[in-house]
Amino acid sequence: MPKKVDHNHKRKIIVETAWKIIETEGIEKVSIRRIASEAGMSTGALRHYFSNQDELLLFIMDYFLARGKERSENKSWSKNPLIAVQETLLELVPVDQDKQTETSVWLVFAIRSLTSVALNTKKDELTEGEYILMEALLEILIKAGYIRKDINIEIEKLRLSAVIEGLSIHALLRPDIFTIEKTEQIITHHLNELCNQ
């Protein structure tokens, strides 16, 4: 009788192995051969699940999103709308080891998506998701009376997204300057500017 293989479990092992390599050595060390070796599989067996680097990167991105969602669901958020929005935005910036790894993966993914049709669609989906989140956060502040109803929400959601993406890059490159305290101050300053318009 053939042995039944749990493919979802195998994929999870593969992506967790890849994640471990990324955390300890950087994303440039991730390859099909290296992951197979670390996971105790043959490269042929691993290619059964991911035929190329882009498929693997897509799966890693989904894993990264699931981790962020789980972290968000388990966090206790402030009841004050303005503070809750600040906390949400701070969650998106790499101010700890986990988020630094996630941001590194996101940046590699984003750059690769410029030349990969397979990754480009997912990149568009992820950036659209970020714009939707920014708009939802602004709507929370509008409904709570912190921001005027007549702001240009299309511009402000893109501006807020650009601020967070910029902070993410700088926090990754210069954590000595973009500490959690400094990042919090920048987010608070940006939101205060919005609230005082």
Q: Of 51, 72, 91, which residue is a domain's last?
A: 51
Radius of gyration of the chain (CA): 19
**What are the pLDDT digits (tens) for 85-137?**
999 999 999 988 888 888 888 888 899 899 998 899 999 999 999 999 999 99
Q: How far is residue 148 from each of residues 18, 23, 86, 142, 144, measured CA to CA in Å?
A: 46, 43, 18, 6, 10
CATH number at residue 43: 1.10.10.60
**Residue 57 domain-assigned (yes or no):** no
Range of the domain at 183: 63-195
Q: What is the mean pLDDT of residues 43-56?
A: 85
Which residues lie below 8 Å from residue 84, measured CB to CB, with a gap of 6+? Answer: 77, 78, 140
- Same domain, yes or no, for 168 and 86? yes
pLDDT tier for residue 183 given thresholds of 50, 70 and 90: very high
What domain count does the chain have?
Answer: 2
CA 116 and chain centroid, separation: 19
CA–CA gap between residue 109 and residue 122 (Å, rounded): 9
Pair 27, 68 in one domain: no
